[in-house]
A and B are shown apart, each in its own frame.
Chain A
């Protein structure tokens, strides 16, 4: 279970997140929607301490951390129990697909090579890239790179995977293959928090939808509640705009 309580984050005295409260149960898929600059990425990055919240409480499984007093060890503990998939993939460019997935297993989990190899092959197969294991990122398409990114995250066997606009950088014809992988993870019960503009994905897959505006969660509920019984005017406007853009 992931729990955020009263998270606040400022950059140079500008409040970017305020009063963020969120609970994500095991196996839940939460999608975060909202206009650009509303703080979606910052919220995700606060969960694994890529950004340090100024205030609040973060719980990942049994780890309960007061953000003001977080230690280096605690941050590493949280990161070992979470994984992230980035908009621009951020694969290790000096490593092959296989090595990208093995890296965390060898260095963080300290598995021996044989075991790390086996696991990595397994997860690469899962994202449909068993035949691209020995390719460097520069030799893979965007969709393939992102699937390696997902395999790298999966291999850590995290309690949650944080996705930050995983398909936004992809050519339209490559979006499907990544979403398909994400859907199958959701079906298998992986806990996921997904920042996305893919409304269909949110509608079909999410157990919970959150709408953010200006650093606040202004609306949240089931997909039906947020999409079909929208309460807030800001959310309605945003959904209208996205719909126009989609068609």
Chain B
């Protein structure tokens, strides 16, 4: 009897899939990095109700959360070159649109998408820290930014970390959409390998396992980080 799947083949493709794991991680890390910046700015703009910027941020969040990620990826992929082309023609910007690697559009789409979700997390986390500590910081002559950076953010991070972890895990899984605009990450590699021997089932089992392992590692890391950033919350130990 033939086994339901071909273990030999599965083992043989593991190195080929692992070869593109850096692409998946790269998309995750770069997008997460910029998403944190976007999320933080749009959260602060809403917390401090900065006119105009606050409305722009709200519209941005609403759009990002109300449209599918795949649509956003296509919008970035087809839209940005159009805009740059326009700028090239009418303002004389000197940009070679065709020279932009597809992964850049992926960074762009993921940054904005994840940034929107993080914005909500960050805003809630900052507002969970009582305002009095900021007043105490101001009262000794610190600036608002110093108070945010040294007092509020470290505590907000402790609040937001579990949610950050979930966002990273979703992001890792969502990077599989990058293949839709022909960025060869794990999913893309899987399609290529599967098509070669028509052994799609085997390929996807391997891919699933690798995603799973990566996500478990991330989960564990977040739990460990959480313990560290929460050390100030330890109860009385007198």
Contact = CB atoms under 8 A, between A and B. Distances in A.
15 contacts: A48-B138, A76-B143, A79-B138, A82-B139, A90-B130, A90-B132, A92-B150, A93-B133, A103-B137, A103-B142, A104-B140, A108-B140, A108-B142, A136-B233, A138-B236
A14 interface: no
Given A86-B132, A90-B135, A103-B150, A139 B140 contact: no
B63 to A, nearest CB: 33
A219 B41 CA distance: 48
Number of contact residues on B: which range applies? 20 to 34
Contacts of B237: 139
Interface residues of A, number: 28
Contact of B234 (A76, A136, A149, A156): A136
A92 B141 contact: no
B238 to A, nearest CB: 6
Given A76-B143, A80-B140, A92-B150, 10 more contacts: A79-B141, A83-B140, A86-B132, A90-B133, A92-B136, A104-B141, A138-B232, A139-B235, A139-B236, A156-B141
A94 B155 contact: yes
B110 to A, nearest CB: 31
Contacts of B166: none
Interface in A77-118: 79-80, 82-84, 86, 88, 90-95, 103-104, 107-108
A147 interface: no
A123 to B, nearest CB: 13
Which of A76, A80, A86, A90: most chain B Cβ within 10 A? A90
B141 A108 contact: yes
B232 A136 contact: yes
Nearest to A155: B140
B150 A86 contact: no
A50 interface: yes
Contacts of A208: none
Which of B139, B158, B234: most chain A Cβ within 10 A? B139
A197 interface: no
Nearest to A79: B141
Q: Is the interface of B mostly helix, strand, loop or mixed?
A: helix
B22 interface: no
Which of B133, B136, B235: most chain A Cβ within 10 A? B136
B138 A50 contact: yes
Contacts of A91: 133, 136
A108 B146 CA distance: 9
Contacts of B79: none
Contacts of A79: 138-141
A50 B135 contact: yes
Contact of A93 (B138, B142, B155, B236): B155
A138 B236 CA distance: 6
A107 B150 contact: yes
B161 to A, nearest CB: 13
Interface in B160-219: none
A152 interface: yes
Given A95-B232, A107-B150, A138-B232, A86 B155 contact: no
A196 to B, nearest CB: 18
Contacts of A107: 142, 146, 150
A196 B132 CA distance: 19
B47 interface: no
Return the 7 tightest CB-CB contacts between A and B, nearest first: A90-B132, A80-B141, A104-B140, A90-B136, A84-B139, A108-B141, A79-B141
Interface in A127-143: 135-136, 138-139
Nearest to B146: A107
Nearest to B238: A139
Given A86-B132, A88-B132, A93-B155, A104 B142 contact: yes
Interface in B139-161: 139-143, 146, 150-151, 154-155, 158
Contacts of A139: 234-238
Contacts of A94: 151, 154-155, 158, 232
Which of B135, B142, B143, B232: most chain A Cβ within 10 A? B232
Interface string B112-130: 0000000000000000001
Nearest to B230: A94
